Structure 1
Amino acid sequence: MSKAAEIDIVSVSKMYGATTAVHSISLKIPAGSYCCFLGPSGCGKTSTLRMIAGHESISSGDLRLGNIVVTDFPPARRSTAMMFQSYALFPHLDLIDNVAFSLKMKGVTRDIRRAKALDILKLMQMEAYGTRRPAQLSGGQQQRVALARALITEPEALLLDEPLSALDPFLKIRMRAELKKLQKTLGITFVHVTHSQEEAMALADLIVVMNNGRIEQAAAPRTVFERPATAFVARFMGDHNVLSGKVRAISDNVVEMETAGGQVFTVRDIAQQVGRPIDIGIRTDRVRLAPPSEKGLGFQAVVSNIEYRGASVKLTATGAGSDDFTVIVSDADHFRKPVAVGDAVSLSWTLEDVVPLGQLSA
């Protein structure tokens, strides 16, 4: 298998007529890493992947694979391979010929290309099915064949457009593990587009969260989870509550924030000015059902919904200007001292649990 390529995206934009789908993004994807582009529908993640592949032209900016600027290269010259959301296997060909198709187009002799296709199918644990047609396979098996077809060209980077979206939940989890194992075995760069936070967290070395054609944060999964850069990232990842207000006072690097409803909260932050808008995040699993130990570290709320999740229980509460403030408690803690919808509760956290959230510049 060929070496992995670093992917360097330099001030890349994509325009569709008067609409800007991707706004001058810059990003370095390290060679041999597993990178997931994550975000809601229409955020620009698939357009970015297709520009890396060469299936979409770049309106402005440059793209480098390894040491080569490939901005104007056609897909065949880029040392990348793309696996599409629909596997697009040829129904009339057996698996070996499906996998070997790109080599046939390059003029490789039949015996050599079929032998190479069989080697790749062995890597996917699919060699026993080589003479079958795609219609005789399950969804997970079809996905392995589509992966084998992409990998036979020995790309430096494999590009995956929502590869797990067509699979059932159980198979998704199994195929996630297989994708990660495959990437580690091959050592090449994987770039994977998904709208699933769980999928990105499970797979990626680098998560790139996109919104409205811009990169909101690019970091390791743990950083994105524990230190979301913006209110959008905090909300989209689903692990932080977000409270918004204005800076009321600053003392010893502790900021007092006042919400529109007059509630005051505190956060450690050195980059604020009095009167400026501010967002803070509080991890859902760090909120306690207890009165706050200090002013600014909690509020009174009313429980609006309860969801039992097995090992944990998700409580949703209303208060402090939030209609969906979320608390995750262990099942043991909840059933030891249960609360019901409509109950008034005290919610609290520590100063260390509050994350200042940045504002993305337009």
Structure 2
Amino acid sequence: MMSKAAEIDIASVSKVYGATTAVHAISLKIPAGSYCCFLGPSGCGKTSTLRMIAGHESISTGDIRLGNTVVTDFPPAKRGTAMMFQSYALFPHLDLIDNVAFSLKMKGVGKDERRAKALEMLKLMQMEAYASRRPAQLSGGQQQRVALARALITDPEALLLDEPLSALDPFLKIRMRAELKKLQKTLGITFVHVTHSQEEAMALADMIVVMNEGKIEQAAAPRQLFERPATAFVARFMGDHNVLSGRVVSAEGGVITLKVPEGQTFSVRGEGRKVGDPVDIGIRTDRVRLERPAEKTLGFHGVVSNIEYRGASVKITAVGAGSDDFTVIASDGDYFAKPVSIGDAVSLSWTLEDAVLLGRP
């Protein structure tokens, strides 16, 4: 169907509100035709960035380019982008066809032409059977499909989605994730999606941009983010790595050894750190074993603070080595063969290969 897609180039873009800087001179290229998720906690600058791409928020410094065009000073309607808002913002008094056709009406497109195009978009969303209904007669998932149809009717080069799934129940969220991914592949246009859900970003994106306090901590494919988080913030926020922090006590032969304030020492492969430097390391939660460190493993003794049963796996949280929430993801078989209880002293271990040297932002 539609195939035009634009690369989005964000060049040293900042957003300042009075004395507060919401976005600090970020630079990023979003490849044409990709699914990009901006991920981070509330107030990290991700929605401000999306709104600056859309033109709903002015840019304090820097430029945004869509394809070959600098769109920094363009109004939203002239940018070749379309935005789908969190609230869906449908008109309650209009039927679905008129809701979807609204932007074409504003552009002066004739009634028959715009209604035919709106029906085509509703068909794409499998909503043509509801064309004469009003938004109040629809479920949340159906309203979302109408909002998507309305955003896509202008043939945008990029679709911008602000937390589009946050209002849906968990089962519908998973279904709509699959639909969004399929839609993006069908249309071939660039999708930029803001979310605070790590699971949502991992499931949807070709590229995830993790933001924190108005800066980009890491922009990478989901697998790279999972395997090699760039900073302690990314490791913690993605939730699949434990973080231990200390100071370098030795650095030789490509192995850095650090000492944590509680006195234990741990090693990680890496270069570029010298004795005395502060250092963070990440350890994959699914690679930690509840067993005593052997000759070729690293580890420490801790105390179990929480246990969560998750069906196929069990999440065990322990306190020790300066961490309040050192996490182990054990398979249900391994856990129930040797269960532990809250308050138990446990040994935790992992191999050198399961640790990753984290950068500092």
TM bucket normalised to smaller: over 0.9
Q: Which residue of 1 aligns with 2:132?
A: 131
1:277-326 superposed Cα distances (whole Å, 9 cap, x missing partner): 00000010000111223477101111121111100001111111112110
Alpha-carbon shift at residue 2 of structure 1 (Å)? 5.1
Alpha-carbon distance in 1 for matches of 2:117, 2:74: 27
Task: Measure the CA separation in 1 of the matches of 2:269 and 2:293.
Answer: 17
- Correspondence list, 1:1-362, <5 A: 1=2, 3-294=4-295, 297-360=298-361
In 1, distance between residues paired with 2:3 and 2:152?
A: 10
Distance 1:4 1:339 in 2: 53
TM-score for both structures, normalised by structure 2: 0.98
Residue 86 of structure 2 contacts residue 166 of structure 2 at CA under 8 Å; is this kept in 1?
yes
2:98 corresponds to which letter in structure 1?
D
Distance 1:271 1:169 in 2: 44
Do the aligned residues in 2 keep the contact of 1:13 with 1:61 (CA within 8 Å)?
yes
Moved more, 303-312 or 184-193: 303-312
Q: 1:339 to 1:303 in 2, by over 3 A?
A: same
User: What residue identity is the alignment partner of 1:73?
Assistant: F
Mapped partners of 1:12, 1:271: distance in 2: 30
8 A Cα contact 2:26 2:215, kept in partner: yes
User: Which whole-Å CA distance do the structure 2 matches of 1:101 and 1:251 have between them?
Assistant: 66
Aligned 8 A contact 1:2 1:154 in 2: no
> How far apart are the structure 1 equivalents of 2:204 and 2:296?
40
Unaligned runs of 5+ in 1: none
Distance 1:329 1:182 in 2: 36
Counterpart-to-counterpart distance in 2, 1:45 and 1:222: 21
Distance 1:2 1:89 in 2: 26
In structure 2, distance between residues paired with 1:105 and 1:345: 66
**Partner amino acid for 1:197?**
Q
Query: 1:235 and 1:288 mapped to 2: Cα distance?
Result: 19
Matches of 2:100 and 2:193 in 1, distance apart? 21
* Matches of 1:169 and 1:2, distance apart in 2: 31
CA-CA distance at 1:346 after TM superposition: 1.1
SS in 2 for 1:111: helix
Q: Tell me the number of residue pairs that the alignment of Structure 1 and Structure 2 aligns.
A: 360
Secondary structure of residue in 1 paired with 2:166:
coil
- Amino acid paired to 2:273: Q
Looking at structure 2, the residues matched to 205 and 296 of structure 1 have their Cα atoms a distance apart, in angstroms, of 34
CA distance in 2, matches of 1:68, 1:18: 31
Q: CA deviation at 1:170?
A: 0.8
Checking the alignment, whether the CA contact within 8 Å between 2:297 and 2:350 is kept in structure 1 is: no
| Residue type of the alignment partner of 2:133 | R
